[in-house]
Amino acid sequence: MKRLRLLLIGVCGLCFLSACGGGGGSSASPSPPPMATHLAVTAPVNAVADSAFDFTVTALDASNNTVTTYSGIVHFTSTDAQAVLPSNSTLTNGTKSFSATLRTTGSMTISATDTVTASITGVSSAIKVSAAMAAGTFTATGSMMDAREEHAATLLIDGRVLVTGGSNSTGTLATAEICDPASATFTLTGNMTTARSQHTATLLSGGKVLVVGGADASGNALAAAETFDPVSGTFTPIANLGTTRLGHTATLLNDGRVLIAGGENTTGNLATAELFDPGTGLFTSAAGNMTASRVFHTATLLSRGKVLIAGGTDSANVNGSALGDLFDPATATFTPTADGGTTAIHLAAALLQDGRVLLTGGEDNGSSCGLCGNFVSAGLAILFSTSSASFAAAGDMTTARLNHTATLLSGGQVLIAGGATISVTCNRGCPFKTFINPEATAELFMPSQGIFTLTGNMTTTRSEHTATLLGNGKVLLVGGVDANGNALATAELFQ
C-alpha cells in the first residue's frame, strides 16, 4: 500500500507540473500578428487636371512589410482642395487601388489616414498636375528625329505610331521612328531596306506593317516592298510589286489581303491594281482594272467590305472622270459608281459612322485664268452613299484645301486639318505665278447638320502631313511642309 501511495503521488506531481508549464519542456507561444504602423500612398508623378488616374494604398509595419491582416478604414485628403477623392474604404489583404481626379495645377499630394488611429497615415510623393487641353485645341508634342514630308504613319496594335520614310532637304529617307502616345515622344527604330517617299504603310491583321512602292531618291517609282516587325523593330524585304508605283493607295481588306490600286510610274497614271496575300507574301494582279487611271486618289473600306476608290483622275490640265470605282474582294473586280464625284488629286476621305464617305477638297483643274486654265485648291465636299452608290454635294469647307487630312473622331465628327491653298496670278489668260500656301487652320464636319465649322488652329502650318487617330481619342499630326516650304520634324495632338 505504501508503495502504491508513492506512485500515485508521483503521478499527481507530474500532472501538476505539466499543468503549470513546469517540467523539462513546453511548446512556444504563437507570435502576435504584425501591426500596421503607417500607410504607403503610391501615385503617378504626372497628372492632367480634371482627368482621373489610379493610385494605390498599402498598409505597412515598422519594417515596411505589407500587413495583410490590416482591417482599418482609410480616409483620403489632398492638398488640392478641389480634388475628387474616393470615399472611406477598407483595404484587401493590406492593399488596394483607387481612382482620383485633381483639378488644380501645380504640385499636389494625396494622403490616406486610418479613421481610428490617426498615426497610421501616409502621403504620396508630389504629383505634378498640368492643365488639361481644351476641347478643339492643338498642343505641340515632342519632335521627330528627322524632318519629313510625303511620309507615312501607321497605328500599331499596341497603340504606338510608326512613321516611315518621306523626304527633307537631305533627300529621300530610309529612316523610321515610333511615337509613344503615353509620353508623346519619338524614338528611332530600324531603317527600311529602301529609302522611299509617297509610299503606303498598312497594318496587317497579324500586327506587322506592309510598306509598298513610293519614290526613290531620284523620284522614280518603286516596285520594292517590305514588312516591319514591331517586336524586333526591323524591316524585311519581300517580293516586289508587279509594277512600280507611287501615289497609289493601299487598303486592308476584311479577309486580310491588301488592295494596292493606281498610282503612277514612267508609263503614266495607272488603272491597274494588285492584291497582297500575307499568307504567301506575294502580289498578284486584280482580275480587272479601275474604270480610270488614278494617282493621289483616295481608297476607303466600306462597312460591307467593298472599297470605294475616288478622285485622282485630273492631270495635265485635262479634267478626268468624276466616276468612282467600287472594288469587290469576292471577284477582285471594279464597277463604276454613279457620276457626280470628284476628279481632284491630293484630296482626303473619311468613313462616317453612318456608312457614308466624306470626300474633301483636293487639287483640281480651275478656270480662273480663262484661256489656259490651271490647277486650284478645291473647297468642295462630297458625300458618297453606299446604298445608292452615288454622290451628293455636302457644301463647301471654310477653306479650300489640298494635301490636308480628314480624320473621323470618336464622337462622329471629322477633323479637317491643314493642307495648302493655291492662288494664281494671271497674265493674258494664262497662269503667270502660282502660290502654294500651307495652312494652320482646321475645321470640323458635323454629319448630322452637314456643315463645316472652324475649330482651333494648329500650332504650325502644315501640308503633306499625316494624321492618326489614337486609342485615347486624340489625333496625332506629324511632319509635313511649313509656310516656307521646309519639311517639318514637329508634331502635335488634337483633342
Report how far apart, in Å, the C-alpha atoms of 407 and of each of 55, 125, 333 are. 34, 39, 28
Question: Distance from CA of residue 172 to its chain's centroid?
Answer: 25
Positive or negative: CA dihedral 473, 258, 177, 149: negative
Amino acid identity at 205 = S
What is the residue extent of each domain of the chain? 38-130
Q: Helix or strand or coil: residue 255?
A: coil
| Local structure of residue 7 (DSSP, 8 states) | H
Decide: residue 455, CB within 10 A, 0-12 exposed, 13-18 middle, 19+ buried.
Answer: buried
Positive or negative: CA dihedral 198, 361, 184, 232: negative
Distance CA(38)–CA(107), nearest Å, equals 23
- In this structure, are residues 450 and 394 in contact, taking their beta carbons and an 8 Å threshold? yes
Angle at 487 between CA 486 and CA 492, to 5 degrees: 120
- In this structure, are residues 268 and 318 in contact, taking their beta carbons and an 8 Å threshold? no
Per the rule left: phi > 0, alpha: psi between -120 and 50, beta: everything else, 30 is beta
pLDDT of residue 435: 64
pLDDT of residue 24: 44
Per-residue pLDDT of the chain (495 residues; tens, 9 = 90+): 333 333 333 433 433 333 334 444 445 566 778 899 999 999 999 888 888 899 999 999 999 999 999 999 999 999 999 999 999 999 999 999 999 999 999 999 999 999 999 999 999 999 999 887 666 899 999 999 999 999 999 999 999 999 999 999 999 999 999 999 988 999 999 999 999 999 999 999 999 999 999 999 999 999 999 999 999 999 999 999 999 999 999 999 999 999 999 999 999 999 999 999 999 999 999 999 999 999 999 999 999 999 999 999 976 545 578 999 999 999 999 999 999 899 999 999 999 999 999 999 998 865 555 545 555 677 889 999 999 999 999 989 999 999 999 999 988 999 999 999 986 667 665 655 566 789 999 999 999 889 999 999 999 999 999 999 999 999 999 999 999 999 999 999 999
pLDDT of residue 13: 41
Grid cell locating 45? 508623378
Distance CA(115)–CA(112), nearest Å, equals 9
Q: What is the pTM of this model?
A: 0.75
CATH architecture under which domain 38-130 falls: Sandwich (2.60)
pLDDT of residue 406: 98
DSSP characters for 384-395?
EETTTTEEEEEE
